[in-house]
């Protein structure tokens, strides 16, 4: 195979290459350079056909003679540079084909590969995740991550248009403050430190100087359960805004979610079809159902939950049957919510809070926050937390802290909905869970 191997990566031809999706009948007769990974090779004896993929799609090459015999030794998924003349084709899937005149082997793949990246031979999710970089050579899978990138951009644009400022807060924190989820602790020089479970306290503090902030980042929770919707490291889109109530935040979330999905069906329709996502949203409002109403709905289905109890997995599954698309669950019992959530003035047992659900899947949690320092101190005590370990946070509430509200949107969970995936691991490049710490 020596003859095919290029001398150096510094191949001037690689710069003047044309992408697979760009070649058309307009190029017939032209001599062009293409690069990609060999996906398929059909050897008919005197003539051979290769299907080669680059980041934009596949092209077909036709080979004869010596080129055909040299290619017989090149394993699939090897990277080749192809020079040839564009010509008419009889193939159904291609507009034109390349009559190959020269091939250079830029990088040879081993044979056999740990998984079949074309997806023709199915591999378990674990095997695929073990070879994730190769898994991305599968068209559907790379499109999950291209769509993920596109959606992140949409979310940023949306939040900028609503006057939110993007911020970055520390992920290494000094005290396990927030309560609730289990944190990962580690040694930090001579001190104990933790990985942030959310930017909650920082984003609230920042409303004092910036009014509206958002952060898109990874957060860490020592989630011991093995579910299809929890990872130890996940990406959250957090926002916090001064002078808005939880109803206003629901309005923002509603618009964000509806505009994102509508945009996808217009500008990424091919990908949505590939994901078999049929959840075309033509509504402009997401129903808001109180926690109390959910209990009544559940009761009518034989699922009895007392006021103040959290909605269990089976309960959420049942609710998901009644409300299979997006819906908000609002006004949760105050005792189920963290210390920073404000209660209703006349009904203190209910909080100004909401979750956005997609069927059984929780995607967002949010609410109006307590902004009086003394009341916040009392809330900490009521939840059994020590105000002393919150002194940095509490003092900011004496510097003119505005009334504020916000939420955290689980970005990986939104991507599950968009890509129609039942397991969060499908939409995260290198997932981290109780068992998986590599690659």
Count of residues near ligand ATP by CB under 6 A: 15
Q: Which helix (H) or strand (E) holds 417?
A: helix 411-419
Residue whose Cβ sits closest to ligand ATP: 410
Residue 410's binding partner among ligand ATP, Mg ion, none (Cβ under 5 to 8 angstroms by kind) is: ligand ATP
Residue 251's binding partner among ligand ATP, Mg ion, none (Cβ under 5 to 8 angstroms by kind) is: none
Among 204, 271, 331, 412, binds ligand ATP (CB under 6 A): 412
Q: Which of residues 338-377 bind Mg ion (CB under 5 A)?
A: 365
Q: Does 230 bind ligand ATP (CB under 6 A)?
A: yes
Contact stretch for ligand ATP (CB under 6 A) within 45-53, 80-88, 101-109, 409-417? 409-417
Shortest Å, Cβ 332 to Mg ion: 9
Strand order in the sheet with 233-242: 165-166, 212-220, 233-242, 404-410, 361-368, 353-358, 326-330, 288-290
Count of residues near Mg ion by CB under 5 A: 1
Q: Which is nearer to Mg ion, 236 or 365 (CB)?
A: 365
Q: Which of residues 419-438 bind ligand ATP (CB under 6 A)?
A: none
Q: Which of residues 349-378 bind ligand ATP (CB under 6 A)?
A: 362-365
Beta-bridged to residue 93, according to DSSP, are none
CA-wise closest residue to 75 among 44, 110, 51, 36: 110
Q: Cβ distance 371 to 402 under 8 Å?
A: yes
Q: Cβ distance 52 to 78 under 8 Å?
A: no
Shortest Å, Cβ 410 to Mg ion: 9
CA angle 375, 377, 379 (to 5 degrees): 70
Q: Which is nearer to ligand ATP, 147 or 200 (CB)?
A: 200
Beta-bridged to residue 367, according to DSSP, are 353, 406
Tokens of 275: 């994901």
Shortest Å, Cβ 232 to Mg ion: 17
How far apart, in whole angstroms, are the C-alpha atoms of residue 380 and residue 356? 26
The CA R_g of the chain, rounded to the nearest whole Å, is 27
Q: Where along the sequence are the contacts to Mg ion (CB under 5 A)?
A: 365
Q: Where along the sequence are the contacts to ligand ATP (CB under 6 A)?
A: 181, 221, 223, 230-231, 234, 236, 362-365, 408, 410, 412-413
């Amino acid at each position: 195979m020596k003859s095919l191997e290029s001398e150096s990566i510094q191949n001037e031809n690689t710069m003047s290459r044309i992408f697979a999706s760009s070649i058309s009948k307009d190029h017939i007769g032209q001599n062009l350079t293409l690069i990609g990974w060999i996906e398929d090779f059909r050897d008919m004896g005197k003539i051979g056909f290769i299907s080669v993929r680059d980041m934009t799609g596949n092209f077909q090459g036709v080979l004869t003679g010596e080129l055909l015999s040299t290619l017989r030794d090149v394993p699939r998924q090897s990277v080749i540079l192809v020079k040839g003349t564009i010509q008419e084709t009889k193939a159904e899937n291609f507009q034109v084909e390349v009559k190959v005149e020269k091939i250079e082997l830029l990088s040879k793949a081993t044979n056999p590969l740990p998984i079949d990246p074309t997806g023709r031979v199915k591999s378990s999710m674990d095997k695929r995740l073990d070879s994730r970089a190769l898994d991305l050579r599968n068209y559907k899978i790379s499109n999950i991550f291209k769509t993920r990138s596109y959606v992140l951009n949409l979310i940023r644009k949306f939040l900028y248009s609503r006057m939110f400022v993007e911020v970055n807060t520390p992920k290494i924190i000094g005290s396990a403050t927030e309560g609730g989820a289990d944190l990962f602790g580690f040694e930090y020089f001579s001190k104990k430190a933790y990985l942030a479970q959310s930017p909650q306290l920082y984003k609230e503090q920042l409303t004092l100087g910036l009014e509206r902030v958002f952060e898109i980042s990874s957060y860490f929770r020592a989630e011991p359960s093995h579910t299809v919707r929890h990872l130890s490291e996940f990406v959250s889109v957090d926002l916090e805004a001064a002078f808005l109530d939880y109803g206003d935040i629901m309005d923002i979330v509603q618009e964000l979610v509806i505009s994102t999905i509508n945009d996808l069906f217009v500008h990424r329709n091919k990908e949505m079809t590939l994901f078999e996502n049929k959840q075309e949203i033509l509504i402009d409002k997401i129903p808001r159902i109180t926690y109390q109403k959910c209990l009544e709905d559940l009761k009518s289905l034989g699922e009895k939950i007392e006021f103040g109890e959290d909605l269990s997995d089976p309960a959420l599954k049942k609710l998901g049957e009644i409300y299979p698309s997006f819906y908000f669950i609002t006004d949760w019992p105050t005792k189920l919510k963290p210390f920073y959530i404000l209660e209703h003035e006349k009904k203190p047992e209910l909080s100004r809070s909401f979750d956005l659900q997609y069927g059984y899947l929780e995607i967002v949690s949010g609410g109006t926050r307590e902004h009086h320092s003394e009341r916040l101190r009392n809330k900490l005590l009521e939840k059994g937390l020590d105000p002393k370990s919150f002194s940095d946070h509490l003092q900011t509430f004496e510097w003119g802290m505005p009334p504020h509200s916000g939420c955290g949107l689980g970005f990986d969970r939104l991507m599950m909905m968009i890509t129609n995936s039942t397991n969060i691991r499908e939409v995260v490049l290198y997932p981290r869970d109780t068992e998986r710490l590599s690659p």
